[in-house]
Structure 1
């Protein structure tokens, strides 16, 4: 059986344009405390302890939804993204998660056999 993925909606093409070409380009920290600039975290918490999963998920959601390419590569870590993607993909919603999963197939959920 062949799986077909829907073409990305043109309304969301700007999301695809800001993605790095490789997941390995996400070289952000994998531990420590991260301070986001107000242009990203304008509505609340700006400091995130990556050892706290809830804070890490909040940081990643903010950066993925509001960040530009440089923010993605600065604040996101590929290994942490892969590890936490199953939870993040639900929180992000389809319009935001689809460009990520189309660009980076390793983020796609594994099909049950």
Structure 2
């Protein structure tokens, strides 16, 4: 699959210093799980507790925040984030300004979510 856009310009919004935010081209391509328990790879979550019960609203938010903030891979978004769920919880997520800006620039519907 083609890479997702980290908005590869020098002025791209940053997830953290020196790292552009990775953003999906469409929300429909995000087909991650919507229930069950998910274990994040170590590259996305450095904590020993890397499992999240998606039935627990707080754990779902915590997982999404970590994936959106830490990913450098398009496949992480496709495999771990669900587009409809992301739209539903968007305003509840605690994200760095650069991540929020990058996603809302690409997906204007998130701003109104």
Q: Which SS does the other structure have where 2:38 is aligned?
A: strand
Kindly indicate which of the two structures has a greater share of residues assigned to strand: 2
TM-score (norm 1): 0.79
Structure 2: stretches of 5+ with no match in the other structure: 1-8, 15-19
Q: Which SS does the other structure have where 2:13 is aligned?
A: helix
Match in the other structure for 1:95 = 98
For this pair of structures, how many residues does the alignment match?
A: 99
Contact 1:86/1:109, CA 8 A, preserved across alignment: no
Q: Deviations over 1:7-61 (max 9, x none)?
A: x98153621xx32211111100111110111111113421000000110000000
Match in the other structure for 2:47 = 43
Cα distance in 2 for residues equivalent to 1:36 and 1:62: 9
RMSD: 1.9
Structure 1: stretches of 5+ with no match in the other structure: 1-7
TM-score (norm 2): 0.79
